[in-house]
Chains A and B, each alone.
Chain A
């Protein structure tokens, strides 16, 4: 029943503009992840939705009601903090009941709600314990329980899993996903971990230096990154970003040192222009035939299911290649490699944005014919 809408939200600390006009609307029940490197403003943005930070400009509305002038308690939201922020002097029960008591619910209802939530989160045996007597994962669940029990219009998560070890993090990630799907409460989730973002989100808002770089479904962002920043940030190992030049015939890209790769469609009008070429490591494939690129292997990381080769392309540009299985390539080997033209990403080197011509359906159609 609640959407969370941000309209041209800005935040300024003195002369520094930390958030520069963010526009995003989370649909009712949507899981929206705010993703970005540390210092990009994603936590600040979440805290502004919570009311813990004031906004400098713009509007925030929850469930259609403008809230940016309201106190946190009047915004009908619940927040899960990175360090859990449990009340250390209260039992698990009291931690979860605190907000309900303040709202003056009858005792019987408080008990019923807390018990129900505790059972859902498998916390029932621990209701009498203090937070200090719980493990990290249990504390995390109490923090979520405290949010869930209030039945708010929206959940706000501020890097809730970053204090857990890797195994527990994966487990809690699934629990959060399941819980959110079950309750259907609109959620904003801040993280710097792209795996969390990819697995949890209905949509991801990628932020960089206070600006929204791209908003979209996880796979959409992965397969069509809107900027060089997104291209480099999403995916592990990251996308290869290479300096290239459009060939005179407009049908290929030159990488220097004789390397050439075919384009799906002609870009003749801009022959000789520099572009940034992005190729994901898994899209760079060894090939039998000549005429593509060649990769001089420097280092090989075998992970079992896959192997990552680190090396240099013609002209000396570093690149990574990701292959299934355990191929036996040694440092010094020279591999002929190529990439499917449909897997190339072209960016404007001046603006860092994806080239608009690569978004046109016509280009994609021609691309198919060029391949066949």
Chain B
């Protein structure tokens, strides 16, 4: 179905586009351009003086042994967030798709967490996981598990992964549920007559037919984990303890805003941009081949 609006004159369509274009320019293109410019300049902390330094900033970043550690944390963090939020969302969607009493209520409730701002979600997680006042934190310490994410890097990473995934699960859930409902009932019925049980039906029919949705969500989730989890990490751990939860995006903030190394921070931004572009391209190149579009 195609609907086309016909406008008289040129002005109105441009006016209607203007707000979106303005937002894109102001918050995406301009900062990206600034990052590119800054990444090849050395600036004093107050931005009063700058000098063109070719790729010295990149050299400095890539030769820093700490940077490799940050890359490792980022990869681990992103894989865990994407994997966890996709698999939990798929499980919930598959369950919500069956005929159960109150399915509509479950669906609404599962969508709610997406409306939470990252900082608020993080505070909720603090109330749960704080070793002294958190519900679960206290319980775990009470059982002698030695829970303190402020000291234990592994525990801190686990917590930010859970917090970052929680919100994304809602988002993925909506898409998976829509994808599941788009699969014709009769195809699944044909499979059950052909002798396939529920588990077999899921893996041989449902999952392959869901692949366009899964692929789209994989791209979105990886981009989310790399780029959009700053707020969660900042509110929960500030990259600590040590650098155990410092991802690439958090380090950009750390070096640029806290340490005032604008050139180095911008170089990292550019590297991050390249990584995400490359990841998306790889996903399209290799994984999309296995995707079946009906």
- Tell whether A pairs with B: yes
Is there contact, CB below 8 Å, between B193 and A102? Answer: no
Residue B205 interfacial (CB < 8 Å): yes
Residue from the list B186, B195, B204, B205 in contact with A83, Cβ < 8 A? B186
Give the number of residues in A that approach B within 8 Å (Cβ atoms).
24
Q: A79-B190, A81-B186, A132-B294 are in contact. Are A73 and B209 (CB under 8 A)?
A: no
A86 CA to B186 CA in the complex, in Å? 9
A103 CA to B193 CA in the complex, in Å? 12
Chain B 192-231 interface mask (CB, 8 Å, partner A; 1/0): 1111110010001100110100000000000000000000
Which residue on B lies nearest to A71, using beta carbons?
B192
Residue from the list A72, A82, A132, A150 in contact with B192, Cβ < 8 A? A72
Residue from the list B184, B187, B193, B294 in contact with A77, Cβ < 8 A? B193
Chain A residues in contact with chain B, CB under 8 A? 50-52, 71-73, 77-79, 81-83, 85-89, 98-99, 102-103, 132, 146, 150
Is there contact, CB below 8 Å, between A98 and B193? Answer: no
Contacts A/B (CB < 8 Å), 15 sampled: A50-B189, A52-B192, A72-B189, A73-B193, A73-B195, A79-B190, A79-B193, A85-B187, A86-B190, A87-B190, A88-B187, A89-B208, A98-B196, A99-B193, A103-B195
Residue B292 interfacial (CB < 8 Å): yes
A89 CA to B184 CA in the complex, in Å? 13
Residue B191 interfacial (CB < 8 Å): yes
Chain B residues in contact with chain A, CB under 8 A? 184, 186-187, 189-197, 200, 204-205, 208-209, 211, 292, 294
Q: List residues of chain A with CB within 8 A of the CB of B194.
A: 73, 98-99, 102, 146, 150
Is there contact, CB below 8 Å, between B187 and A87? Answer: yes
Q: List residues of chain B with CB within 8 A of the CB of A82.
A: 186
Shortest CB distance A70–B (Å): 12
Q: List residues of chain A with CB within 8 A of the CB of B189.
A: 50, 52, 72, 79, 81, 85
Listed residue (B187, B190, B200) with the most chain A CB atoms within 10 angstroms of its CB: B190
Q: List residues of chain A with CB within 8 A of the CB of B192.
A: 52, 71-73
Residue from the list A50, A98, A132, A150 in contact with B191, Cβ < 8 A? A98
A79 CA to B194 CA in the complex, in Å? 9
Which residue on A lies nearest to B186, using beta carbons?
A85
A50 CA to B194 CA in the complex, in Å? 11
Chain B binding surface, main DSSP class: helix
A-B contact count (CB 8 A): 62
Which residue on B lies nearest to A150, using beta carbons?
B194
Is there contact, CB below 8 Å, between A102 and B292? Answer: no
Q: List residues of chain B with CB within 8 A of the CB of A52.
A: 189, 192-193
Shortest CB distance B49–A (Å): 61
Is there contact, CB below 8 Å, between A102 and B200? Answer: yes
Q: List residues of chain B with CB within 8 A of the CB of A98.
A: 191, 194, 196, 204
Shortest CB distance A142–B (Å): 11
Is there contact, CB below 8 Å, between B292 and A88? Answer: yes
Listed residue (B195, B211, B292) with the most chain A CB atoms within 10 angstroms of its CB: B195
Q: List residues of chain A with CB within 8 A of the CB of B211.
A: 89
Residue from the list B193, B197, B200, B292 in contact with A89, Cβ < 8 A? B292
Is there contact, CB below 8 Å, between A87 and B193? Answer: no
Q: List residues of chain A with CB within 8 A of the CB of B208.
A: 89
Is there contact, CB below 8 Å, between A89 and B209? Answer: yes
Q: List residues of chain A with CB within 8 A of the CB of B196.
A: 73, 98, 102
Q: List residues of chain A with CB within 8 A of the CB of B292.
A: 88-89
Which residue on A lies nearest to B189, using beta carbons?
A52
A79 CA to B190 CA in the complex, in Å? 7
Is there contact, CB below 8 Å, between A78 and B193? Answer: yes
Shortest CB distance B1–A (Å): 20
Shortest CB distance A90–B (Å): 8
Shortest CB distance A139–B (Å): 13
